[in-house]
Amino acid sequence: MRTHLISQVVLKRFTNDEGLVAQHEKKTGKVTLLPPTDIAFTDIDVKIIEQSERRWGADIENHAEKALNTLVNANVLLVPKHANTIKRLMALHYVRSFALLDLMAEAKQKYARQIIENVSSAYPSYRDLVKQKVAEDWPRTVVGSLPKIIGDNVAKVDKFMERHGLEIAHTPQSIKFVIGDIPAITITNKGKMGVPITEADSFAMPLTPTHIVALKTDPESKEYFELTAEQVRAANSKQIQRALEIYYSATKDTKDS
């Protein structure tokens, strides 16, 4: 079953007046208008996502709609429940993208090495056959172990988020945010992106075409401010650079994004 890398509640914020989202393919430059239900998928069993979300004791996305409505004028910062939902929504997207993609690759390699080494050491002549069998069987074995891997990461990320405050920035009227298929971006002061969240100096994610949220070291931090057009373009550049294949926007034309 396919699972959304970007939550539907977030994708719907990037729709145009016809309820469609502009999907931009990085390699080809092709732009297609599609309903949010038909985009930002990965082929992972939805049960893995459900099990990871239950580690928070609530369905995050069911609370996100109200929280997102309070982004305007920084009202979200005045309601702890909504601020906490926003942080958990960020964490959920980090876990979905970082954990489900990177950890699957890591688990695949670890599983393959272990089986090949164990069997080949006992039966050297069967090494090639073992490699073939591992390639055929690894998806079922690895996916079966992912709920625990994801759950452990969810717990770590959740604790990390609790120790940080929020800042919210909005765009000037002339420019909007785009959002990539890996929307929750970690980055160091040296500009390295995609690092583990505990090693990041910045962790940010656009939640609407006009608002981006980021963690602050001070857990009591509550900042709300307007970005310059240049800062929005820099944030969009990071979203596009970090995206695996696709990024999304509210309009097909992103020359002012």
pLDDT in tens, 239-255: 999 998 899 999 887 66
Q: Is residue 67 part of a domain?
A: yes
Q: Give me the phi and psi of 193, to 5 degrees please.
A: -100, 160
Q: Is residue 256 part of a domain?
A: no
Going by pLDDT thresholds of 50, 70 and 90, the confidence category of residue 210 is: very high
Residue 56: exposed, middle, or buried by beta-carbon count in 10 A (0-12, 13-18, 19+)? middle
Q: Is residue 255 part of a domain?
A: no
Instruction: Residue 226: give the domain boundaries.
Output: 3-249
Q: Is residue 254 part of a domain?
A: no
Going by pLDDT thresholds of 50, 70 and 90, the confidence category of residue 3 is: low
What's the pLDDT at 15?
93
What's the pLDDT at 14?
94
- The residue among 141, 138, 48 whose CA lies nearest residue 95 is 48
What is the rounded distance in angstroms from the CA atom of residue 87 to the CA atom of residue 74? 14
Counting Cα atoms < 13 Å in the Cβ hemisphere of 159 gives 6
What's the pLDDT at 130?
65
pLDDT in tens, 106-120: 656 666 667 667 767
Q: Which residue type is seen at 95?
A: V
Q: Is residue 191 part of a domain?
A: yes
DSSP 99-150: IIIIIHHHHHHHHHHHHHHHHHHH-GGGHHHHHHHHHHHHHHHHHHHHHHHH
Q: Is residue 167 part of a domain?
A: yes
**What average pLDDT does this structure show over 208-236?**
92
High-pLDDT (> 70) share of the chain, %: 70
Look up tokens 């942080």; give the residue: 87
**Whether residue 49 has pLDDT greater than 60:** no
Q: Is residue 76 part of a domain?
A: yes
Whether the full predicted model's pTM is greater than 0.85, yes or no, is: no
Going by pLDDT thresholds of 50, 70 and 90, the confidence category of residue 136 is: low
**Whether residue 56 has pLDDT greater than 50:** no
Task: State the total domains in the chain.
Answer: 1
Q: Residue 21 in contact with residue 39, Cβ under 8 Å?
A: yes
What is the rounded distance in angstroms from the CA atom of residue 181 to the CA atom of residue 117? 35
Of 36 and 171, more confident: 171
Going by pLDDT thresholds of 50, 70 and 90, the confidence category of residue 103 is: low
